[in-house]
Structure 1
Amino acid sequence: MPKINSFQPLVSIIIACYNGERFLAEAIDSVIEQNYEPIEIIVIDDGSSDRSREIVQSYPNVQYYYQENKGVCYSRNKGMNECHGDYLIFLDQDDRLPVGRIIEDILCFQQFPDCAFIFGWTKEIDKNGNFRVSYNIPNLEKADYITMLKGDALIPPGTVTFCTDKLKSVGGFNQILKTSEDFDLYLRLSRKFSIHCHNRITLEYRRHEDNWSNRYGEARSLRNILNRLDEQRDYIKDNIDLYRAYKEGKRHWICLLGPRAVGELIMHIKNKEVYKATAIFLFLIMRCPDILLSTFFSKLMNRLSFN
């Protein structure tokens, strides 16, 4: 095992769990298989009713905390407050760490000790743990607040290794938020501290029907991301480069998620879900009317051409 200066810092891995019996053991095993020590593994069980407790307690060195259901942000912050590590990784119950991930990140922190967090990219796996079709990995030459404003690196929390002290200094995750809580945290940290991307794969991200990210819909995700960007106005108003990045970021997310939100709108209209359709329509007409009109009529014409 490569040595890191004269000692190796403790790394804490926090796994927020809710009815995670399907993949939880894989997540824990991926941490145990890291070629790094010392580590501590903490599972926060957010009110599971399945075999999650039994699975965790079969690992004698894994710490287990149970709580009534309070949401993933509360669970992650609970883990942050219970951990003792110098550095911290939030691993979702259905994802895996690639072998060598921890030591690569800690070696990177040795080069960039002032960073609040270091991150890389994901490689997707399916529900059976098989790698999905590969795609080009992004290559960021620089990572900073502008990067986050522009939307160049909205990555799952599991791709990130945080400096625990700096993470605690901003209060961890905003527990009020149900979506975009990771984006909010990245913005707050990168605004205050330096960050770094080493452009390596740091997470095996599992795509399946029960992903947390699938539960709230594209329209709600877009609304929350735009709200998080708007909250930056006081910090960017006197800096032209930051303001341009903010505007570019809004265009990026509207172009990426706007058409998907229109698809949700059409689905709710077809299902005669008036309340949901009305809410999405009002949001789109206020925040991204051009996307609404162009995408709606494009989808409508496509449907008419097949009839």
Structure 2
Amino acid sequence: MSPLDHTVDPRPARVSVIVPNYNKEKTLRACLAAIYAQSFPPAEVIVVDDASTDRSPRIAAEFPCTLLAFPVNRGVSAARNAGAARAGGDVLFFVDSDIALAPDALAEALAELRAHPECGVVQGIYEMTPLFADGPVESYKTLFEHFWRRRDVGVTATTMFALTALPRPVFELVGGFDEGLRDAEDIEFGTRLPTAYEIRTSDRVLGRHDDVDRLGPYLSEHFRRARTYAGAVVAARWVPGPSAGTPGSTVGAPGRANSGRRAPHRIDVGSVVGLLGSAVAVAGLPLTARSPWLLAVPLAGLVGFLGADRALLGFAFRQRGPGFLLFAVGMRFLTHLSEFAGLALGLTRALLRRPRPGRVAPLTPGSTRW
């Protein structure tokens, strides 16, 4: 059987919608209502509650969905895997519980899979306005997420699973999500997708997202995700492993993809320049105490940061005006600093854990995949 024999016909396809949830009583009702209002109705809806302590289970019980409840919190990877294991559909559609899908989201995802038989994953984008508007931090975050997801419409290299569809055989071939990861698990999933499959982002698969709305949690989220990404994706490329299909391979074990490691996704030069520019702007400030001429160092970093993010900042200006632009500059600068710190810590930890030549690294919790 060819690895591309998963062509989906939208008419008879059975779609299983899987909703991982943890303490999202604020948004879960809107999420489920939007799923049941789809123009192409799902065959089943599975809510996996990850030991919520709020009213989430009672809200899910208001809908004719299947509710799986974990007794202890296990993370989004385990929740998605459990939902997929229970699902009976031909296509799995994952949607986070803080997203309300547009009415045609399922139909558009199926149409995309049908139009592109080589496509293994179809992922949607966020709309420009949040599900519930809770202040400027969320407004910035939603606008930014819309901008960069829309920029990647078409064939892309990175998987995101906030609102994403894929045929069941593809999910099973990859082997599910790494349950040792609680951040960047969706990106790591894509690194194990066989190279024969395309990853597509569609701006016709839409959802309104209720995002983080306070500065502290926002920066913490970016720091944590960057730290995990550095270890699980970036540093993983440095460790020479067995070829696909051999014992110990992360992509060739039974039931997993065996087309070899996927090529690393392209480096976003703008993001790298923005990260480095922000770091130089801060790190260079103490130099000015030695000589006023050294003020050129942090200024150069600031110019690099602004130049790298000119497209995003221009979009913010066109959409929300000059006042919001100034706020967006500050938010983007702090975002880069948080991500730089997370990447630096993640890479440092990965280097310290890297096995020396001739030695075998011990297994650590989460090192095996579902």
Normalised by the size of structure 1, how large is the TM-score?
0.68
SS in 2 for 1:44: strand
Q: Give the letter for the 2:80 counterpart.
A: R
Which residue, 53, 65, 68 being the options, matches 1:65?
Answer: 68
C-alpha separation between the residues in 2 aligned to 1:40 and 1:224? 33
Could you tell me how far 1:107 is from its partner in structure 2?
Answer: 1.4
2:108 match: 104
Q: Give the letter for the 1:182 counterpart.
A: D
SS in 1 for 2:109: helix
C-alpha separation between the residues in 2 aligned to 1:185 and 1:121? 18
1:29 match: 33
Q: Percent identity over the alignment?
A: 22
1:173 partnered with 2:177: yes
SS in 1 for 2:24: coil
Contact persistence 1:10–1:37 (CA under 8 A): no
Relative distance call for 1:201 and 1:114 in structure 2 (3 A) is: closer
Contact persistence 2:13–2:90 (CA under 8 A): yes
Which residue, 226, 229, 232 being the options, matches 1:225?
Answer: 229
C-alpha separation between the residues in 2 aligned to 1:157 and 1:9? 20
Contact persistence 2:230–2:347 (CA under 8 A): no
C-alpha separation between the residues in 2 aligned to 1:37 and 1:285? 42
SS in 1 for 2:204: strand
> 5+ unaligned residues in a row in structure 1: which ranges?
236-241, 266-276, 288-307
C-alpha separation between the residues in 1 aligned to 2:99 and 2:222? 21
Q: Give the letter for the 1:66 counterpart.
A: A
C-alpha separation between the residues in 2 aligned to 1:132 and 1:18? 23
1:197 match: 201
> 5+ unaligned residues in a row in structure 2: which ranges?
1-7, 242-262, 284-337, 349-370
Relative distance call for 1:259 and 1:132 in structure 2 (3 A) is: same
SS in 2 for 1:35: coil
Contact persistence 1:14–1:89 (CA under 8 A): yes
Could you tell me how far 1:197 is from its partner in structure 2?
Answer: 3.0
Bigger Cα Rg: 2
2:302 match: none
C-alpha separation between the residues in 2 aligned to 1:285 and 1:63? 38
Relative distance call for 1:39 and 1:17 in structure 2 (3 A) is: same
Contact persistence 1:18–1:46 (CA under 8 A): yes
Q: Give the letter for the 1:138 counterpart.
A: R
Relative distance call for 1:46 and 1:80 in structure 2 (3 A) is: same
Relative distance call for 1:188 and 1:22 in structure 2 (3 A) is: same
Which residue, 263, 277, 283 being the options, matches 2:344?
Answer: 283
C-alpha separation between the residues in 1 aligned to 2:12 and 2:212? 36
Normalised by the size of structure 2, how large is the TM-score?
0.58
SS in 1 for 2:32: helix
C-alpha separation between the residues in 1 aligned to 2:89 and 2:152? 28
Query: How many pairs were matched up?
Result: 254
1:1-307 equivalences under 5 Å are: 7-59=11-63, 61-67=64-70, 68-126=72-130, 128=132, 138-140=150-152, 142-143=154-155, 147-148=156-157, 153=158, 156-189=160-193, 191-209=195-213, 214=218, 216-227=220-231, 228-232=233-237, 246=266, 248-249=267-268, 251=269, 253-255=271-273, 280=341, 283=344
SS in 2 for 1:110: helix
